[in-house]
Structure 1
Amino acid sequence: MNVELRHLRALVAIDEERTITDAAIALHLSQPALSRTLEQLESRLGVRLVERTTRRLALTGAGQRLSEHARRILGQLDDALSEASGRSGPRPLRLAFAWAALGRHTVPCCATGGNATPGHRSRCAAWTTPKRLCVAARRTWPSCAPGPPTAQG
């Protein structure tokens, strides 16, 4: 079984983006190249990882389990490479939010967020639905409750 890091990155991107097209954009690949990479991974493992129809895409049970392992493996690899290269400083903080969650403050917050702390990178990514926001939060902080977060005011 010859699985490469690009295969794991592809599966994680597909899981996070929920479409082949969006995952390909995130990985800076063409859609056909990403589809071939997924087909290679499924062929090498001998198991279907993604159920695809013209209207939806979903990871199978095996795909979900492998995606969770791949996410952990890729994170550990990033940590090891940072440590080996002497760049083991603070990791970037990733925040996800529904695009209009901050109302009129959304754009200014995205625009200046990275300037608040020198030496830290920022990247603004919009989540189109509350469900995607909740899924991202649970993946980033596994200790989150299984339900969607509640507003505390």
Structure 2
Amino acid sequence: MKQLYHATELIGIKDKNITLTKVFQHETHIEVQATLDYTPPKCSYCHGNQIKYDFQKPSKIPFIEIGGLPSLICLKKRRFQCNHPFKIALTTFIHYQKYITNAIKLPYSNAKLEATNKLIKDIKRNAFGYRNFKKRIYLALNSKKARTKFVLTRA
């Protein structure tokens, strides 16, 4: 008689990288939640180490019957990412280092211009009922260039 040390051996899972986290018993089936986590392989592109970053959406795999009920294993698989994109970002920062330091040191900014452009785009999207689009922009920007006449409605 062989003694089983892990629940994965008990239900017949041979992969040592799968760990069971939770077991839920529903009326119609048993759901076993597990994670598959292992050391990352070498990158095929740059032959460097890959990094772990998150788990995928769990895939539901039908499994053997446990206690007369069908069972599902919800397996979360680990995803890996190559360090290559980080190297590209670093070389981009090094290439534009002079411009980045100027943007940090100097007091000039185009933030107000970008904010105005975004506001104009929002007005364009929501300017229903205005005949003169230019007047609507001046109204929103609180500018005094456009003069608007108040129109009294007839009762």
Bigger relative contact order, structure 1 or 2 (CA pairs below 8 A, ≥6 apart): 1
Which TM-score band applies after superposition, normalised by the shorter structure? under 0.3
More strand by share: 2
- Which TM-score applies when normalising by structure 1? 0.19
- Which TM-score applies when normalising by structure 2? 0.19
Tell which structure's C-alpha radius of gyration is larger: 2
More helix by share: 1
